[in-house]
Structure 1
């Protein structure tokens, strides 16, 4: 997120996969015994080993798309260098050493307030706007992988693999078609902003925690769900939206007094955020230091939703910005429309907890001075990729349309990022 100038469910019938919603009860369970703790079933539902053939298929697709992205990065370095007269394309790793990555690197290497520096100084980079989960993990991996960029890329690569496996499992919970998991992952990995799953950003790590957390919540393993959500909150503030959705899911599914016993666990994500706020206050004396950093660096001051829409529309179409900036704001408007349609679909299907998650995300992103980072946020909207998979399974032509439209956009966004022209 660079600083901008101030002027500015259901599918066709098919066999229900065994791992989708029910497992065949063991002889011991049929005899009235226990088949094992609930936690084991929840974990096996998220990350079972050895991997099933469907899981290996998803991972194969993930690997192929990673190769494609880094092929794009290599070509971009040679064909679209910053200096048109250069004879040295430089390292392909340089393509990912920009934008938000520099903030994560500075936090991991130097901390939030090195040498008594902070927001009281002119030219401060507002790094406290970024939650500490990714930088802390980056610093830990750096002790084994000396190269900071390689360490960040490995985190995103491993986290992305976990995320696509979890997304496929969630899709199979909703859709009875055996192809649902792979189809959802396909649409997800070829989405326009998929580039951010391959570089040193927080989206892959957040999803690697948030999606298994949602699977655990669906299986009513509330301690595991809360723990994973707390970790996700340490990575992105979106973890609080996930926590709110899980609390709503808990409230709607609890029936007896025993069902309410795990309720204290659900406070864990809020504790994570509170600890970070306390840390920032200890150094800055400001309980709203995170929010103020967002305001200073990215103009995230509160505005009514209609004001944010109008401001974004103006910079997108009134020819007040360069074409690159204007195009990115046009993408912001389109992403907001997609989010609103998704929110309406979830309400219509009575999927209240997922609608709550999407609604909170849209409110947070749609009440700033102007829209920013909404296309990237679509990566975190797992109901979107499941809905697209559902439509494509009912109407095969939808897959063709999606791929024909999304693939060029995905390539354009990757080229824009790797060439240093990203602006959102």
Structure 2
């Protein structure tokens, strides 16, 4: 009932700004963007294909990307300080080249593969001193070689790949977070926990984590929407980068089965076999050169002690390496981090099972099994970057317990800085 005087018509409601629309409305795939009369510049951008890209980035996406850029700048500042404060040598008067801190450990393996191939000059595992490079899947080295055609520096090419891939990954994670945790409307809280995680440095260097997530997280988003062909194709790309792509494929298969049993039908099941093709092709290639179908696995065993041991044996060996004085303090500290990451992973799997998140539980559990059945634990802290349920869960916990966000940031910030310094100064960091 109107309370205005007779003859007085109410003013029409003011149109709401697109930024103020409910988040659920922004996520509708059928929503059409508001049309504006384009000027000359707008028409030129649209003709060049930029208009669609700009429309795809919502204000929430731009906020997440701004956070991503700030954390990249903080890591570059850390790398600059590492060059000057921790030079190699006791009487150094000049800092090393700008990009040297980023070219450490596995980044050198990827460089050698991209530059020289897997078996240069007929060298291979039959030779003494072989670097076991076939343990690394070809996706990242192939892309590195392609980018190097445009970017002369190998290190800069690797950094560029991770920079772009990391942006794609953090956008996908933020969108995923809003579907799991509606209160995290723009996903920025989840992105913050992820980007300030203890091993965040590996997202910024020439490693595979950022590129893997750039394929894996959009694949999971597609699977959630039952776009099985897209999910399978993206997962196949992920398996070219890391064997973890097979764990993702298993999780998507579980999600597909649950969807089919709920009445969605089994149409699209054939796509689930697609992610197995890249590992099979890589195994075939290695077999043609070495006669060994599992050459990549055997290279991991030779170089990184990844031969099978029971979980309790692996825990015991890692515990001894961490606390029994068998290694220098730097290595011992990293083995302690391996133990802590294993505990976090086990708790995460238990919580996922408790909440009946079966596909996510399968994904994390397979990762733990692969990493937790070697002689000792290696690279589990770095693998936490790939466990998206962990970062979404921490964001959800911080929304229920506001004090947790402050506590996490106060603890994660120094640990992240220490791990970054360890890596950037050439020390083992997982």
62-71 vs 266-275, greater mean Cα deviation: 266-275
60-69 vs 50-59, greater mean Cα deviation: 50-59
Structure 2 counterpart of 1:95, from 101, 104, 107:
101
Task: Check conservation: 1:210, 1:242, Cα contact below 8 A.
Answer: yes
Q: Deviations over 1:254-284 (max 9, x none)?
A: 1489731211111111111100000000000
After superposition, where does 1:9-408 map in structure 2 within 5 Å?
17-18=23-24, 49-179=55-185, 181-255=187-261, 259-408=265-414
Q: Deviations over 1:49-94 (max 9, x none)?
A: 4311110000000000000000000001000011121111111200
Give, in whole Å, the separation in 2 of the partners of 1:282 and 1:241.
Answer: 26
Secondary structure at 2:92 match in 1 = coil
Task: Check conservation: 2:319, 2:335, Cα contact below 8 A.
Answer: yes
Task: Check conservation: 1:190, 1:407, Cα contact below 8 A.
Answer: yes
Offset at residue 102 of structure 1 (A): 0.6
Which residue of the partner structure matches residue 11 of structure 2? Answer: none
Secondary structure at 2:88 match in 1 = coil
Give, in whole Å, the separation in 1 of the partners of 2:344 and 2:414.
Answer: 18
Secondary structure at 1:18 match in 2 = helix
List structure 1 runs of 4+ shifted beyond 4 angstroms.
19-26, 255-258
Offset at residue 139 of structure 1 (A): 0.6
Secondary structure at 2:273 match in 1 = helix
Unaligned 5+ segments in structure 2 are 1-20, 33-52
Give, in whole Å, the separation in 2 of the partners of 1:91 and 1:25.
Answer: 49
Give, in whole Å, the separation in 1 of the partners of 2:78 and 2:262.
Answer: 54
Task: Check conservation: 1:16, 1:178, Cα contact below 8 A.
Answer: no
Structure exhibiting the larger radius of gyration computed from Cα positions? 2
Task: Check conservation: 2:251, 2:359, Cα contact below 8 A.
Answer: yes
Q: Deviations over 1:337-384 (max 9, x none)?
A: 000010011001100000000000000000000000000000000000
Q: Deviations over 1:204-252 (max 9, x none)?
A: 0000000000000000000000000000000000000000000010011
Q: Deviations over 1:110-167 (max 9, x none)?
A: 1000111000000000000000000000011111111111111000000000000000
Give, in whole Å, the separation in 2 of the partners of 1:221 and 1:272.
Answer: 20
Task: Check conservation: 1:180, 1:389, Cα contact below 8 A.
Answer: no
Task: Check conservation: 2:198, 2:416, Cα contact below 8 A.
Answer: yes
Query: Relative to 1, partners in 2 of residues 1:254 and 1:242: Cα closer, same or farther, differing over 3 Å?
Result: same
87-96 vs 234-243, greater mean Cα deviation: 87-96
Which residue of the partner structure matches residue 40 of structure 1? Answer: none
Give, in whole Å, the separation in 1 of the partners of 2:26 and 2:356.
Answer: 20
Relative contact order, higher structure (CA 8 A, sep 6+):
1
| Alignment coverage as a number of residue pairs | 390
